[in-house]
Amino acid sequence: RSAAHLTQKALCCFQGREPFSGPTEENEEETILGILKRLYTGSCPGENSEDPPHGNSSPETEKAVPEEQLQAELVRQEMLVQYLQDAYNFSAKITEALSLISKLMYGNCVSVVQEAIEFFVTILQSGVPQALLGVRRMLPLIWSKEAGIKEAVLSAYRQLYLSPRGDTERARAQNLVHSLSLVVVDASLGTIECLEEIILEFVQKDEIKPAVIQLLWERFTEKSQCSSVERRAAVTLLGMMARGKPEIIGSNLDVLVTVGLSEKVCEDYLLAQEVCSAISKLASGPKPAPGKNNVPFRLPQDHMLFGCLSKAVSQGFAQPSSHWMTFMKAAVILIYQLAEGAEEICAHVLQECSLQVLEKLQEAEGQKDDPGISPSRVSDGASSLPTFLLMHLVSLVGQVALQQVVYLEVSVGTELCRRCILREEEKKHSVSSTKKQQRPQSTGKETTMEEELGLVGASADDTEAELIRSICETELLDGSHLFSAFVPLVLKICNNPGLYSDPAFSTAAALTFCKLCLISSEFCDSHLRLLFTMMEKSTLPAVRSNLIIAVGDMAVRFPNLLEPWTSHLYARLRDPCPSVRLTAGLVMTHLILKDMVKVKGQVSEMATLLIDPEDEIVEVAQNFFSELSNKASGCSGTLGNAIYNLLPDIISRLSDPNCGIEEESFHTIMRHLFSYITKEKQSESLVEKLCQRFRTARTERQYWDLSYCLTLLPLSERGLHKLQDNFDCFADKLQDPTVYSCFQTVLVRFRRAAGKPETKALAEELEQKLSATRNRGLDSAETCQEGSGTPVPEPAKQKPPGSSRRQPLSTANRDEDFVTPKPRAVRNHKRAQKCPRPKKAVITFSSDEENSSEDELSAELKEEETPTKTTPITRSSARRLR
């Protein structure tokens, strides 16, 4: 009706105009209907006026032809819509499948991994943009030990990047550089390292053409038009290629310095950082064989490279730039890698930057004419200086201190050892020539005992290492050294986190404090209490993560100092911040697998990561237990499995009601851990141990957990005998429905797998014994209830899901919740001989170290309680496994 009214109005307003032309007075109703029909079908009279007239065509045929055309067009449109809908649905399904297939790339089957890699190559070539994530995800597979997987990754990148389209060699080079630049831009450090390994393979096989390298140099020198991001990517790619061919950088070193580290360096510190990284490839070539006369590559101290670096660091020091610190770190590393007298260059830079800070301090305090100001005054007036200036100073001190230690132990130590070996060889040569002159009849086949044992130069190594160690311990932080002037400033910032609220500044100070602790064991020992207090109570996740990484380095450098504090490192696995838990998991994985930390009962904290809400943390925990199992399986002996040895302690700790692990989470953890128990003898031994643990179980939850663990073991005939021999251990627990159901499950599974009639009969006999014992226990319980009138206690109610999930440690603990661990007592053998022989130990449910480790987690650090005597960690190539 509204359409008819609108049409009537249109006829009045647009008389004589299409599509409202026509007779309006004769039959208004037919006119309106005709107009509406034309509007609906989209045709107007006279639309096809240019068509030739057909003399014999009737009006019906004229109407039929447009209707047939409309029907055909409608069918075509419907087909098009259906095609587009199907294409969209297919694209959505492919996108959903990408995440699943990307996980298959890290499976155990080599053929599945290769097919997943080929899939991502195909869909990226088909133009699916999301496939680039899968292509990046396959990068770490270049480190795979499987030759087939590594070759598949190389082949994938060869197809995607080394076969560009283009009519000319220049066009192909441009497409290749553009594609590689897209991968480099915004890539993580791990992605850069993986891509560098792939490009190294291509360079060594001469698969990268000279035109590509020429185009990269043109982009860097701005001879070819490109953005600043593409320019940085070009320098990064040149550095990657220089690993295979150092002459790519060496022959153009002057160009890199003059263009990348010139006066305009402050405009793009990221470019300058990439230039430093590319030049450092000159020092990261293949290491010379020990004992040979291979002089390391060094540039003279007055080379223009170090002049430009020193000037760039000093000029940008007082400017508030967010990228200056990353450039400074790269510059200091490059100076120590390539410069002769690197410590003098960095000391000069430190002095210049300190003078700038002192000038700012004088301006703030109005003491420009005071000649007695020294760097130690900076700590007194730190609060009156700009935050970024103090952050730059603290970061520079920490970086120089760390690189000084690396320089002494790696570069200087290696060079001293090389010279000592060279002197020994020359001395040996002169002695042998003298002996030949005295005894010409000698055949020259005589060898000394040291040569036969391969100990030539071993004493020299020990002597030089001791010399370097003494320098680090006594000189670097001594009052006469430059670093000592900045120690009070760093300690003041770390001891007073409330005075400095800037997170970046606090993070930089904490990192510098850790680097100073790595210099000297004496300095580290005296400040461990502050270090672990910051690691526990800092409100900044970045500070806690950095301290965990630093403590991991200290555990490698000073293992005896850090051994009593291991429980506090384990405690960070319960940190409320996911990033801190992830960092702690990675650090503990490294330390345990490298035998830097003893695998104690506290490894149950690593097991709790298997139920972490973050998938990335769960993958870290799974990788840890997989590597631990593979590492231990190489040991000799039937029971050579570290997870087998740790399982009883893990079960004890996780079953403890104070642990806070809910029952379903416990089942998830145990299913994963018991999957590593594959040997029959291990299963038999665990059956016996678990049965004996029933005697000391204190709560019904512990009964349930132990009985559930029995259901996870692949029971053999001898295991069934073990179960029957230890029947008295769990007989009184069978009246509990959950315990009885678990034993029933064990027997049902055993009967299905048993093939011999004797074995089935043994299982039936044990089942009857279980049923009889349970019924007898229920009857006696009912009799007691009728005689005494007291009801039988009901099984404890389970906690609701989520309420018993393990609770993370709070970062805002009270002072009395943190204490210094007590040192282990040193055994006195004489006193032990006089003492009476102790009684036989009684089996307990908790692990041997439960009491001490739990007490260590809640305490206050006191100076008089700081451990002074520690027990050295015993190192051995093969772990003793019981």
The residue out of 11, 28, 45 marking a domain boundary is 45
Which residue did the predictor score with more confidence, 723 or 787?
A: 723
Q: 419-428, 458-467, 540-549, 647-656 — which one is most confidently predicted on average?
A: 540-549
Asked whether residue 695 falls in the same domain as residue 778, the answer is: yes
**How far apart, in whole angstroms, are the C-alpha atoms of residue 728 and residue 692?**
9
**How far apart, in whole angstroms, are the C-alpha atoms of residue 513 and residue 398?**
7
pLDDT value at position 293? Answer: 58
The total of structural domains in the chain comes to: 3
The answer to the question of residue 79 being in a domain is no
Asked whether residue 775 falls in the same domain as residue 842, the answer is: no
Asked whether residue 772 falls in the same domain as residue 687, the answer is: yes
Contact 268, 307 (CB under 8 A): no
pLDDT value at position 778? Answer: 56
pLDDT band for position 531 (cuts 50, 70, 90)? very high
- What's the pLDDT tens digit per position in 24-79? 555 677 777 777 777 766 655 444 444 444 445 455 555 556 778 888 888 899 99
**How far apart, in whole angstroms, are the C-alpha atoms of residue 359 and residue 350?**
14
Which residue did the predictor score with more confidence, 635 or 397?
A: 397
The answer to the question of residue 771 being in a domain is yes
What b-and-e string marks burial along 87-104, b requiring 16 or more CB atoms within 10 Å of the CB? eeeeeeebeeebeebbee
Asked whether residue 783 falls in the same domain as residue 821, the answer is: no
pLDDT value at position 435? Answer: 63
Alpha helices per DSSP H over 185-221? 189-204, 210-220
Contacts of 858 (CB under 8 A, 6+ apart): 813, 817, 818, 819
pLDDT value at position 779? Answer: 55
pLDDT band for position 585 (cuts 50, 70, 90)? very high
Per-residue pLDDT, averaged over 708-725, amounts to 87
pLDDT value at position 637? Answer: 42
The answer to the question of residue 304 being in a domain is no
- What's the pLDDT tens digit per position in 625-679? 988 888 754 444 434 578 888 898 899 889 888 887 899 999 999 999 999 888 8
Structure tokens at 385: 């200086």
**How far apart, in whole angstroms, are the C-alpha atoms of residue 607 and residue 654?**
9
State the angle between helix axes of 147-161 and 110-125 in degrees (0 to 180), rounded to the nearest 10: 10
Q: 123-132, 414-423, 835-844 — which one is most confidently predicted on average?
A: 123-132
Which residue did the predictor score with more confidence, 356 or 601?
A: 356
Amino acid letter at 357?
Answer: V
Q: Which of 347, 398, 663, 689 has the alpha carbon at shortest distance from 516?
A: 398
Contact 142, 202 (CB under 8 A): no
pLDDT band for position 404 (cuts 50, 70, 90)? very high
For the residues of 59-113, what is the DSSP string, one character each? HHHHHHHHHHHHHHHHHHHHHHHHHHHHHHHHHHHHHHHHHHHHHHTTSS-HHHH
- The neighbouring-strand residues paired with 859 are 818
What b-and-e string marks burial along 250-273, b requiring 16 or more CB atoms within 10 Å of the CB? eebbeebbebbbeeebeebbebbb
The answer to the question of residue 663 being in a domain is no
Q: 382-386, 617-621, 651-655, 828-832 — which one is most confidently predicted on average?
A: 617-621
pLDDT band for position 436 (cuts 50, 70, 90)? low
pLDDT value at position 801? Answer: 41
Per-residue pLDDT, averaged over 825-851, amounts to 43
Count other Cβ atoms within 10 Å, centred on residue 86.
Answer: 10
Asked whether residue 824 falls in the same domain as residue 766, the answer is: no
Quote the DSSP letter at residue 496: -
Contacts of 88 (CB under 8 A, 6+ apart): none
**How far apart, in whole angstroms, are the C-alpha atoms of residue 18 and residue 27?**
18
Q: Backbone phi, then psi, for 53, in 5-degree steps?
A: -70, 145
The answer to the question of residue 636 being in a domain is no
Asked whether residue 724 falls in the same domain as residue 819, the answer is: no
pLDDT value at position 371? Answer: 47
**How far apart, in whole angstroms, are the C-alpha atoms of residue 37 and residue 60?**
16
**How far apart, in whole angstroms, are the C-alpha atoms of residue 682 and residue 881?**
13
The answer to the question of residue 705 being in a domain is yes
pLDDT value at position 812? Answer: 40
The answer to the question of residue 176 being in a domain is no
Asked whether residue 779 falls in the same domain as residue 820, the answer is: no
Using DSSP's 3-state secondary structure scheme, residue 861 falls into coil
Asked whether residue 764 falls in the same domain as residue 823, the answer is: no
Among the listed ranges 325-329, 507-511, 811-815, which one has the minimum average pLDDT value? 811-815
- What's the pLDDT tens digit per position in 586-597? 999 999 998 888
Among the listed ranges 200-214, 303-317, 729-743, 760-774, which one has the minimum average pLDDT value? 760-774
**How far apart, in whole angstroms, are the C-alpha atoms of residue 615 and residue 674?**
21
Q: What is the 3-state secondary structure (H, E, C) of 220-285?
A: HCCCCCCCHHHHHHHHHHHHHHHCCCCHHHHCCHHHHHHHHCCHHHHHCHHHHHHHHHHHHHHCCC
Count other Cβ atoms within 10 Å, centred on residue 366.
Answer: 8
Contacts of 487 (CB under 8 A, 6+ apart): 477, 516
Per-residue pLDDT, averaged over 98-117, amounts to 89
Cα-Cα end-to-end distance for the chain: 94
Per-residue pLDDT, averaged over 475-492, amounts to 88
- Phi/psi-derived region of residue 116, left when phi > 0, alpha when psi is between -120 and 50, beta in every other case: alpha
Give me the sign of the Cα torsion angle 663, 667, 670, 674: positive
Contacts of 452 (CB under 8 A, 6+ apart): none
Which residue did the predictor score with more confidence, 8 or 199?
A: 199
pLDDT value at position 50? Answer: 44
| Residue 201 predicted with pLDDT over 70 | yes
Question: Please, what is the average pLDDT of the chain?
Answer: 79
Count other Cβ atoms within 10 Å, centred on residue 618.
Answer: 17
Q: Which of 254, 410, 229, 236 has the alpha carbon at shortest distance from 330?
A: 236
State the angle between helix axes of 253-260 and 269-279 in degrees (0 to 180), rounded to the nearest 10: 160
**How far apart, in whole angstroms, are the C-alpha atoms of residue 313 and residue 356?**
12
pLDDT value at position 611? Answer: 93
pLDDT value at position 37? Answer: 73
**How far apart, in whole angstroms, are the C-alpha atoms of residue 706 and residue 702?**
6
Contact 241, 203 (CB under 8 A): yes
| Residue 536 predicted with pLDDT over 90 | yes
Using DSSP's 3-state secondary structure scheme, residue 726 falls into coil
Per-residue pLDDT, averaged over 133-148, amounts to 90
Per-residue pLDDT, averaged over 573-599, amounts to 92
Q: Which of 325, 474, 331 has the alpha carbon at shortest distance from 408?
A: 474
Quote the DSSP letter at residue 435: H
pLDDT band for position 820 (cuts 50, 70, 90)? very low
Q: Which residue range forms the structural domain that includes residue 783?
A: 679-787
Per-residue pLDDT, averaged over 808-827, amounts to 44
Asked whether residue 684 falls in the same domain as residue 777, the answer is: yes
Structure tokens at 509: 């100070």
**How far apart, in whole angstroms, are the C-alpha atoms of residue 257 and residue 271?**
12
Which residue did the predictor score with more confidence, 217 or 411?
A: 217
pLDDT value at position 121? Answer: 92
Percent of the chain with pLDDT over 70: 75
| Most distant CA atoms of the chain, gap in Å | 144
| Residue 448 predicted with pLDDT over 60 | no
| Residue 437 predicted with pLDDT over 90 | no
| Residue 97 predicted with pLDDT over 60 | yes
For the residues of 735-785, what is the DSSP string, one character each? TSHHHHHHHHHHHHHHHHH--SHHHHHHHHHHHHHHHHHHHHHHHHHHHHH
pLDDT band for position 849 (cuts 50, 70, 90)? very low
pTM score of the predicted model: 0.73
- What's the pLDDT tens digit per position in 683-716? 889 999 999 988 888 888 898 999 999 999 888 8
pLDDT band for position 809 (cuts 50, 70, 90)? very low
Percent of the chain with pLDDT over 90: 37
| Residue 384 predicted with pLDDT over 80 | no
Asked whether residue 833 falls in the same domain as residue 741, the answer is: no
Asked whether residue 704 falls in the same domain as residue 776, the answer is: yes
Q: Which of 293, 275, 268 has the alpha carbon at shortest distance from 333?
A: 275
| Residue 352 predicted with pLDDT over 80 | yes
| Residue 189 predicted with pLDDT over 70 | yes
Give me the sign of the Cα torsion angle 335, 338, 340, 341: positive
pLDDT value at position 870? Answer: 45
Structure tokens at 522: 């004496």
Per-residue pLDDT, averaged over 135-139, amounts to 89
Which residue did the predictor score with more confidence, 546 or 598?
A: 546
**How far apart, in whole angstroms, are the C-alpha atoms of residue 399 and residue 407?**
12
pLDDT band for position 527 (cuts 50, 70, 90)? very high
Per-residue pLDDT, averaged over 13-27, amounts to 62
pLDDT value at position 578? Answer: 95
pLDDT value at position 764? Answer: 82
The answer to the question of residue 12 being in a domain is yes
